[in-house]
């Protein structure tokens, strides 16, 4: 990158709370948002991590799919924290890049049920605008009045991280001065829950849902389906400082690779994740010994955690970084996860605090040897941290974030 990319604002809507503050407090408390979910009764797994209902909100939001509602709410928080007001910026120089795995799949399912039970006459005219995958980015651009690039990225559970990479590329190319980079998904639906259960990806620990998502733990048996949104405001550092903004962190490097191995399983040796990590570190002008912390993908599935643990153990054998996974607390938020966890990584740097991995208690042979933060938060100065994201289809994205003082 010719100019460093500054993170000047962030917003979160997660099962841990609506807003970056409530989400951060929830993560640091070490509990889990997983609960029994009556909306999934009758399916193979009836628990999830849901976003809590807002105390209030604009009535017009009813017409949007939840994934778009989450995005509009988180984006407003991110812009406020960045000190940006859409009425005052050059709208043609602002990009919107939103990652999603499934778009408005909940709307599509609900309208299809109506079609089958009551006929086409009951279909909502908002069906297409609510579920088309590009519409979250389109609606956000409409809401903010931006006329720069408006894109949607879809790389399964790496989508939010891919959105951040795409935003960096647009900024580096001079296609925009400000980028709103986000990931959002609302896949806690009967169809999605049943499909993930059919793949064997979901935890079956329904008798104690709050202990079901157990990243890297010996007794992990799958993830808990979640929903939410994360938003980062990205700018070239000179642009941010020229308008008086103080960067919270710098996005100093990124790497994106493809496993080309299997539709749902990671490469058994983590080849794609290793390559993405090396690319992110090269972009940051750093080596493995410079990494203080990793926000792992950490899904709580047997295969993913084992492969990711092996990569971390091998690459950082001389100086193991601290490791945490937000999915123990928030569940797996699918296409939102990469953006949510990127924001959590930025907060980790800003607070000098690593939140614990909820429900991690005992490593097994595949995850032993990692410095996993558990039971309680850890005070730690973090100058350089990585955020891992992996997705079905073999997508790997690694983001490198640094403290603003990082040379």
Closest C-alpha among 306, 301, 275 to residue 214: 301
Q: How far is CA 11 from the centre of its chain?
A: 12
Q: 171 and 235 in contact (C-beta within 8 Å)?
A: yes
Helices (H), 8-134: 20-29, 66-82, 105-118, 127-131
Question: CB–CB of 148/91 below 8 Å?
Answer: yes
Structure tokens at 270: 């983590």
Catalytic-labelled residue, pool 239, 293, 332, 395: 332
Tokens at residue 324, please?
């945490």
Closest CA to 208 of 28, 15, 36: 36
**Euclidean distance between the first and final Cα of the chain, in Å?**
14
Token couple for 90: 């050059």
CA proximity to 371, closest of 363, 382, 381, 359: 363
Cα–Cα distance between 326 and 362 in angstroms, integer?
A: 17
Residue pair 226/49 in contact by the 8 Å Cβ criterion: yes
Residue in 168, 149, 166 with CA at minimum distance from that of residue 158:
166
| Six-digit token string for 104 | 């408005």
Structure tokens at 78: 């991110």
Show Cβ contacts of residue 143 under 8 Å, excluding neighbours closer than 6 positions.
72, 75
Q: Is 297 a catalytic residue?
A: yes
Tell me which of 157, 168, 176, 229 is the catalytic residue: 157
Closest CA to 400 of 354, 323, 363, 346: 346
CA angle 155, 157, 158 (to 5 degrees): 60
**Counting Cβ atoms within 10 Å, is residue 88 exposed (0-12), middle (13-18) or buried (19+)?**
exposed
Q: 293, 297, 388, 395: which one is catalytic? A: 297
Residue 261 designated active-site: no
Looking at the annotation, which residues are catalytic? 157, 297, 332
């Amino acid at each position: 990158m010719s100019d460093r990319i500054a993170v000047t604002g962030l917003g979160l809507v997660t099962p841990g709370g609506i807003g970056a503050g409530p989400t951060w407090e929830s993560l640091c408390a070490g509990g889990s948002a997983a609960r029994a979910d009556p909306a999934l009764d009758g399916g193979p797994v009836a628990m999830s991590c849901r976003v809590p209902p807002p105390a209030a909100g604009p009535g017009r939001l009813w017409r949007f799919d939840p994934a778009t509602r989450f995005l509009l709410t988180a984006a407003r928080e991110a812009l406020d924290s960045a000190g940006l007001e859409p009425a005052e910026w050059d709208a043609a120089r602002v990009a919107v890049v939103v990652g999603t795995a499934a778009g408005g799949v909940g709307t599509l399912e609900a309208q299809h049920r109506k079609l089958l039970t009551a006929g086409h006459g009951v279909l909502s005219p908002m069906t297409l605008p609510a579920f088309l995958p590009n519409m979250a980015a389109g609606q956000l651009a409409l809401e903010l009045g931006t006329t720069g690039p408006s894109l949607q990225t879809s790389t399964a559970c790496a989508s939010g991280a891919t959105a951040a990479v795409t935003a960096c590329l647009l900024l580096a190319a001079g296609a925009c001065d400000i980028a709103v980079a986000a990931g959002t998904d609302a896949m806690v639906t009967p169809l999605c829950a049943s499909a993930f259960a059919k793949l064997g990806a979901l935890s079956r620990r329904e008798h104690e849902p709050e202990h079901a998502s157990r990243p890297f733990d010996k007794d992990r048996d799958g993830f808990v389906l979640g929903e939410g949104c994360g938003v980062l405001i990205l700018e070239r550092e000179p642009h941010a400082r020229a308008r008086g903004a103080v960067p919270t962190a710098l996005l100093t490097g990124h790497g994106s690779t493809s496993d080309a191995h299997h539709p749902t399983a990671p490469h058994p040796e983590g080849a794609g994740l290793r390559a993405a990590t090396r690319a992110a570190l090269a972009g940051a002008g750093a080596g493995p010994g410079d990494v203080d912390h990793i926000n792992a993908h950490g899904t709580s599935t047997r295969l993913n955690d084992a492969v990711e643990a092996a990569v971390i153990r091998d690459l950082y054998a001389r100086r193991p970084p601290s490791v945490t996974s937000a999915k123990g607390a928030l569940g797996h938020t699918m296409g939102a996860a990469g953006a949510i966890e990127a924001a959590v990584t930025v907060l980790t740097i800003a607070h000098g605090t690593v939140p614990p991995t909820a429900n991690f208690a005992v490593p097994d042979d595949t995850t032993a040897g990692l410095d996993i933060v558990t039971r309680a938060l850890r005070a730690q100065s973090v100058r350089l941290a990585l955020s891992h994201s992996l997705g079905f289809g073999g997508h790997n994205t690694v983001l490198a974030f640094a403290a603003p003082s990082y040379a």
